Amino acid sequence: MARNKRAIPEINAGSMADIAFLLLIFFLVTTTMDVDKGLMVKLPPWSEEPPPEDNEIREKNIFVVLVNSNNQLLVEEEYMELKDLRSSTKLFIDNNGDGSCEDCRGARDPKSSENPTKAIISLQNDRGTSYDMFVKVRNELLGAYSELRNELALRKYGRAYDLLNEEGKAAVSEVYPQFISEAEPVSVGG
């Protein structure tokens, strides 16, 4: 009995740091901190037959952006550099031809879009267009919308769009809803 009462020798904790270091280095090496980021896109549902010709959408409410296989841009039937795409897209969305958008500051050009809720951007690309260029164009189109929303948020609430609460965001995006259509693949030549 007396023997059992002998004190258990203490475990040497000196190597604890070494073990922890080993584990730490393992996790340091295997870790990938990259959070996946990307351009969020909503695709239209699949339909067997091509979408019916919608006569409701008037020609002037569609902003056609074509990218050919040489990665060149044709915007509203005119050649354009990528750096000018954002500003001309903004002009188109913000045009407010029929005056129904109170928060818009557009030029009210009768030949351009009627109001932001009717304005549609149609992005068409060739099969030979590079993914890089497509993403850049897509980025510019999204950028045009986010700049407009930001400007409106600053005017109305004095804060950037990202800093608004849910209500504010909903109100701003109601003025500028996003309508970007990625058309079915076509061969636009080049």
Contacting another protein (CB under 8 A), which of 1, 11, 35, 53? Answer: 35
Which residues, at least 6 apart from 28, have a Cβ–Cβ distance to it below 8 Å? none
Contacting another protein (CB under 8 A), which of 2, 6, 38, 54? Answer: 38
Q: Is the dihedral of CA 109, 111, 115, 120 positive or negative?
A: negative
d(CA 107, CA 117): 16
Burial class of residue 50 in the structure, from the number of CB atoms within 10 Å of its CB (0-12 exposed, 13-18 middle, 19+ buried): exposed
Task: Tell me the residue type at 55.
Answer: N
Stretch of residues binding another protein (CB under 8 A), selected from 94-102, 114-122, 126-134, 148-156: 126-134
Using CB under 8 A as the binding rule, the residues of this chain from 44 to 83 that contact another protein are 44-46, 71, 81-83
Stretch of residues binding another protein (CB under 8 A), selected from 12-20, 58-66, 94-102, 114-122: 12-20
Measured from the CB atom, is 60 or 149 closer to another protein?
Answer: 149
Measured from the CB atom, is 18 or 102 closer to another protein?
Answer: 18
Number of residues engaging another protein in binding (CB under 8 A): 51
Binding flag, residue 24, another protein (CB under 8 A)? yes
Asked whether the beta carbons of 64 and 124 are under 8 A apart, the reply is: yes
Strands of the sheet containing 120-125, edge to edge, are 78-80, 73-75, 62-67, 120-125, 180-182
Provide the binding-site residues for another protein, judged by CB under 8 A: 13, 16-17, 20-21, 23-24, 27-28, 30-33, 35-46, 71, 81-83, 86, 125-136, 138-140, 142-143, 146, 182, 184-185
